[in-house]
C-alpha cells in the first residue's frame, strides 16, 4: 500500500498465512502472488521475468524473536507457529532466507524491515551477519532507525530499515531525515461509542491516567489526547482516552495510516495494523528512494 501511495507499480508478494494472504489479495489484487513459505518460493524455477531486476524488493520477515517485548534469545533457533493455522517454522533465520530471495531476484534496491530490537543486545550480532550477507551478494548497505511519528503517521513506532543498493549502480548514499510535525492522539477523528469493557477492565481504565497502562499489563494502554498515540500492537489492549472502551476500527485505521474502508475480512483490524509497517511510513521511504536513486538510473 505504501509503495502504491508513492507511485510504484505493485507486482506481487509472498505470504505464508492464508487469512493474511486473503486480505492482501482482496485489497491489492497483486499480479503475481504466492501463498506459501518463502523458502518454497525461493525453490521455484519458473518465475515471471518481470520479477527479476525489480526496481525495489521489500521484505518484512517476522520479527518476534528480536522484539524487546518478546522472549528474544530464548526463542532463537526454535520452531513455532507465528499464528494459528500457519505452518511451524523457525523465525529468526527468516531474515537470511529473505536474503536468499534478494540474491535470487537481484533487485536494484532491496529493503529489509524489522524491529528496533535488532539493533540491541545480542541481536546486534544478527545485524552484523545481515550486513555481511548483503555485501557478499553484491549490495552496499545502509541501516536506518526511523520513527513513524516523524513521518506523518499519528503513532509512535520505531522500525529498523536495512536498505541495499546493487553494486553496479553508482549512486550517492541515501539520506533519510524526516521531521514532520507530530499528530497527537487528540487530533484523531473519534467515534462516539458506548462502554465495551468488562467490570475489571473498566475499573482499571478509571484508575489509570491517560497514557498509562491499565492494571498490570504494560501492553494495555489508556491513550492520552495530549500525546502521540502509543504503538499499536497485535496483542494487548488499546483503550480510548476519555471513553471507557477499546479503540474502534476507524480510529485504529487512522492511527495506522490505513484507508478507512480497508477490508480486513476475518482478521481483527488491531492485529493486522499492529503487525504492519504503517503505509505512510513506507510511502515516505519509497518516495525518497525513488527521488534519490531510481529516478537517476
Residue ranges covered by each domain of the chain? 2-181+277-296, 185-256
* Higher-scoring residue by pLDDT: 239, 118: 239
Scan for cell 529493503, then name that residue. Answer: 111
**Lowest-confidence segment of 51-65, 66-80, 100-114, 174-188 by average pLDDT:** 66-80
List active site positions.
63
Tell the CATH topology of 2-181+277-296. Answer: Rossmann fold (3.40.50)
pLDDT over threshold 80, residue 250 = yes
pLDDT tens digits, one per residue of 150-198 = 999 999 999 999 999 999 999 999 999 999 999 999 999 998 999 999 9
- Mean pLDDT score, 89-100: 82
**Confidence band of 92 (pLDDT split at 50, 70, 90):** low
What distance, in Å, lies between the first and last C-alpha atoms of the chain? 24
**Interior CA angle at 52 toward 46 and 54, to 5°?**
145
pLDDT over threshold 70, residue 199 = yes
pTM of the model: 0.90
- Mean pLDDT score, 120-140: 90
The counts of H helices and E strands in the chain are 9, 11
**Confidence band of 76 (pLDDT split at 50, 70, 90):** very low
- Mean pLDDT score, 1-5: 96
Look up residue 278 and give its DSSP letter. Answer: P
Q: By three-state DSSP, how is residue 248 classified?
A: coil
Amino acid at each position: 500500500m505504501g509503495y502504491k501511495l508513492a507511485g510504484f507499480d505493485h507486482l506481487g508478494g509472498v505470504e505464508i498465512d492464508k487469512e493474511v494472504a486473503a486480505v492482501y489479495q482482496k485489497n491489492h489484487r497483486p499480479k503475481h502472488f504466492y501463498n506459501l513459505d518463502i523458502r518454497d518460493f525461493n525453490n521455484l524455477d519458473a518465475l515471471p521475468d518481470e520479477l527479476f531486476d525489480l526496481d525495489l524488493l521489500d521484505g518484512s520477515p517476522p520479527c518476534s524473536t528480536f522484539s524487546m517485548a518478546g522472549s528474544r534469545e530464548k526463542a532463537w533457533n526454535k520452531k513455532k507457529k507465528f499464528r494459528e493455522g500457519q505452518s511451524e517454522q523457525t523465525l529468526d533465520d527468516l531474515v537470511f532466507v529473505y536474503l536468499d530471495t534478494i540474491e535470487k531476484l537481484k533487485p536494484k534496491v532491496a529493503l529489509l524491515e524489522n524491529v528496533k530490537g535488532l539493533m540491541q543486545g545480542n541481536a546486534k550480532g544478527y545485524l552484523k551477519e545481515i550486513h555481511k550477507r548483503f555485501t557478499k551478494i553484491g549490495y552496499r548497505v545502509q541501516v536506518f532507525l526511523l520513527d513513524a511519528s516523524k513521518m506523518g503517521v499519528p503513532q509512535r513506532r520505531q522500525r529498523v530499515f536495512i536498505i541495499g543498493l546493487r553494486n553496479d549502480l553508482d549512486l550517492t548514499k541515501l539520506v533519510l531525515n524526516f521531521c514532520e510535525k507530530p499528530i497527537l492522539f487528540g487530533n484523531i477523528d473519534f467515534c462516539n461509542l458506548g462502554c465495551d469493557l468488562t467490570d475489571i477492565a473498566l475499573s482499571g481504565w478509571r484508575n489509570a491516567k491517560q497514557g498509562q497502562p491499565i492494571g498490570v499489563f504494560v501492553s494495555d494502554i489508556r491513550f492520552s489526547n495530549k500525546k502521540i498515540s502509543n504503538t499499536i500492537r497485535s496483542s494487548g489492549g488499546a483503550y480510548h482516552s476519555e471513553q471507557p472502551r477499546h479503540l474502534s476500527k476507524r480510529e485504529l485505521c487512522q492511527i495506522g495510516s490505513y484507508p478507512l474502508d480497508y477490508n480486513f475480512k476475518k482478521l481483527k483490524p488491531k492485529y493486522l495494523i499492529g503487525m504492519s509497517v504503517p503505509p505512510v511510513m513506507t510511502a515516505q521511504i519509497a518516495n525518497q528512494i525513488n527521488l534519490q536513486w531510481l529516478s537517476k538510473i
